[in-house]
Every structure is written in structure tokens, then in C-alpha cells.
Amino acid sequence: MADILKIAKKKGTPVFILDHKKIRENYREFKEALPRVQAYYAVKANSNPEIVRTLYKMGASFDVASFPEFMIVHENIKNLSKKNRQDFIWDKIIYANTIKQEETLRKLDQYKPLVTYDNIDELKKIKKHCPHAGLVLRIRVPNTGSMVELSSKFGAHPGEAVDLILEAFKIGLIVEGISFHVGSQCNNFENYMQAIQLASSILKEAESRGHKINILDIGGGFPVKYNNKVKSFKTLARKLNTEIDRLFPKTMEILAEPGRFMVANAATLVTKIIGKAVRDGKTCYYLDDGVYHTFSGIVFDHCVYPLKAFKDGEKKVCSVFGPTCDAFDTISVAEELPDLEIGDYLYAENIGAYSIASSTYFNGFPPAKVVHINK
């Protein structure tokens, strides 16, 4: 911890310290546990281009959700690949947002991308504006018990999946794969088991109708050990390997879109106390970072980031606020910290995913500066 304090003093705060050694370890752990699965890192979790480069060098591919994300990946890896362009795009990038602006589709078409869809209107849009795309049908699967649920917004009902595949072929498009997402930070492994079973049934039905589909994309959701209640990733991986081998032929290409798993534990934020007040007998600390910035995951990701001090001392319950003028900018009303002063530093670990990615400039405060270590 002495090292991060040194960085904070040298670079100023708030500072988001990104450890690339951890990212490489996470990638290795993922690949060793799931050897059949190609990891398409979900750039939305943290779109820093240095992360893209580090993961690309490890052999990762990428899941993008917008044209700017597509370009972050494309620009950072295009000169490093020796493969021909078409293989390069599908091997390396999936555009996994089922809803795309028409303009985005027009811009994507020249790359002959792999894109997801989950409804008939999107299919028509793709046919009109991006006819050279390969398609992946996203189905709706149980998200029960996941920290962030996604099934109310995305995914075709399994009952309409085969029709959506047939319709795509009918209008001259090609369905290459099927995908799902069990919800982010999934601690209920039954979600994956049910989703894989559903995907298998749909693929069998599509094959019996003359359309063999060769890609299964098992999405994201792989849990990060934020605390002891989180179940073991290794246990999940063993279950997934067994089910995948049982239900799919060796020729089936298996993809996943891990976001949080690759980056959550790779970043630590150091922030400084800029104000202190006692209100109704309770100490309130005001930091130079808050929920409009790196702590945005408290709101959007339903995540908590326990704060730690660099000082020892008896801990007392206190409130911690961000720097903006909005009372919503509340990090915690029940933090336990020792007695601290203006100018003291605090840090939050495991803050690499869905944090700085959704930081704003609210009140004119810029996002935390990023410092890369062990690159």
C-alpha cells in the first residue's frame, strides 16, 4: 500500500491505478479454467486502450457495444494482426449490442462485422444498412441472483428464437451463432446451466430445419471475488466445461464476453479528503472523487467499494461524500473509518470495472487520472 500512496502523492488525486500484471493473471486464469472458450473482453467494463493492448497481446478478442468502442479495439490492434481481414474481424471483435443506430450499422458494414440481434426490426435494419454482417442471435435466459440483471432489456424469447433464425436466412442474411448473458456478477451458476441447455435445444431445432450454427457465445457474468459470499469461478468453469462437452460437438466454437472478470481487481483508486464536518454528531468526510466519477459503480453497477485509510486508529461510523454540489453524490452513510483529517488519503480496491468507465464531468470535475503499473 506504500506504493500506491507514493503514486498518489506524486501524481495527485483522485488517481486510478491500473495494474496490468493483474489483468494478465486474470486472463490466464480464465483461459486455464475454460480452455475451449475464446475470451472476448467486454470493453464496456473499462475501455482504456492500454487494457485492450495488454489483453490483445495475451491472445484475447473483444466485445464492443458501440462504434467508438469498435474503433478503440480496431485502431489498437489492426497493425498487430497478420491474419486476413475477415478472419481478423470475427476472431477479434463481436459487436454485442443488440440495438444499433442505423448510422452505426452503415459505418460497420465495410468491416463485415459479427453483430448480435434479438428482434425482427433489428434484423430488417441490419439487412438494409449492414448486409455484410454475420449474425449472432441473443436469447433471453434466467438472470436470477445476478448483481446486474439484463434480461428485461435484451434477448429474444427462446420460443421465438428458431423463427428469428429462419427469418434471417430467408432475407439473405447468415446466422453464425447464438448468444446469451446470465446477468453481471452471476453468483447463481444454475443460470449458466439453464442458458446452455436452452441454446443447445434451439441449435438442434435450427439444424433440423437445415441451418447448422457453429458459434456459441456464453456471454459475461463471471463472478469476481469481491467478498467471501461470491462462489468460486473454478467451480463454475468445471460445470461449464462439463456441459459444453456434453451438449456440443468439438467443432463448435465457444466464445465468452467477460468484462468485470478481467479488470475489476486490477484497479485501486486513491482519493483525498478535501473537507470534514460534523453533522448531527456524525463525522462527514468529503472526497475529491464521488458517485458522478469513479464511484459511479455504486449507482450503475450496484457495487460497493469499502474505503480504507492509510492510518490506524479506532474506527467510527461516518458518512462519505463526493465533491459535487449534489446530495446524491453520497458514497456511504455507514463507512467505518479511523479519525481522519483534511489532506489524508483513502483508497478503494477492486474498482476496475464499471467505475471510471461511467465517470462524468459533472460540476466540471474531470474523471480521475489513470496511472498504469506493471505494463
- Which active-site residues does the annotation give? 325
Kindly state whether residue 219 participates in binding ligand PLP, applying the rule CB under 6 A. Answer: yes
Buried b (16+ CB within 10 A) or exposed e, 77-91: beeeeeeeeeebbbb
Minimum distance from residue 183 beta carbon to ligand PLP (Å): 7
Near ligand PLP in 62-81, by CB under 6 A: 63
Cell representation of residue 275: 473537507
Minimum distance from residue 223 beta carbon to ligand PLP (Å): 8
Q: Which is nearer to ligand PLP, 14 or 223 (CB)?
A: 223
- Candidates 160-168, 169-177, 242-250, 256-264; binding stretch for ligand PLP (CB under 6 A): 256-264
- Candidates 129-137, 213-221, 237-245, 356-364; binding stretch for ligand PLP (CB under 6 A): 213-221
Among 14, 221, 322, 323, binds ligand PLP (CB under 6 A): 221
* SS3 of residue 22 by DSSP: helix
Kindly state whether residue 181 participates in binding ligand PLP, applying the rule CB under 6 A. Answer: yes
- Candidates 20-28, 195-203, 254-262, 266-274; binding stretch for ligand PLP (CB under 6 A): 254-262
DSSP calls for 94-116? EE--S---HHHHHHHGGG--EEE
DSSP calls for 227-254? STTSPPHHHHHHHHHHHHHHHS-TT-EE
Kindly state whether residue 301 participates in binding ligand PLP, applying the rule CB under 6 A. Answer: no
Kindly state whether residue 100 participates in binding ligand PLP, applying the rule CB under 6 A. Answer: no
Cell representation of residue 257: 464476453
Measured CA to CA, the distance from residue 108 to residue 338 in angstroms comes to 53
* SS3 of residue 76 by DSSP: helix
Minimum distance from residue 153 beta carbon to ligand PLP (Å): 9
Q: Which is nearer to ligand PLP, 255 or 340 (CB)?
A: 255
Kindly state whether residue 113 participates in binding ligand PLP, applying the rule CB under 6 A. Answer: no
Our CA dihedral for 142, 148, 151, 153, rounded to 10 degrees, sits at 180
Measured CA to CA, the distance from residue 106 to residue 109 in angstroms comes to 5
Kindly state whether residue 155 participates in binding ligand PLP, applying the rule CB under 6 A. Answer: no
- Rg of the chain (C-alpha set): 22
Minimum distance from residue 222 beta carbon to ligand PLP (Å): 6
* SS3 of residue 50 by DSSP: helix
- Candidates 49-57, 105-113, 218-226, 231-239; binding stretch for ligand PLP (CB under 6 A): 218-226
DSSP β-ladder status, 37-42 and 253-256: parallel
Buried b (16+ CB within 10 A) or exposed e, 128-155: ebbeebbbbbbbbbbbeebbbbbbeebb
Minimum distance from residue 119 beta carbon to ligand PLP (Å): 15
Residue nearest to ligand PLP (CB): 220
Minimum distance from residue 311 beta carbon to ligand PLP (Å): 34
By the criterion CB under 6 A, which residues form the site for ligand PLP? 42, 45, 63, 96, 150, 181, 184, 219-222, 257-261
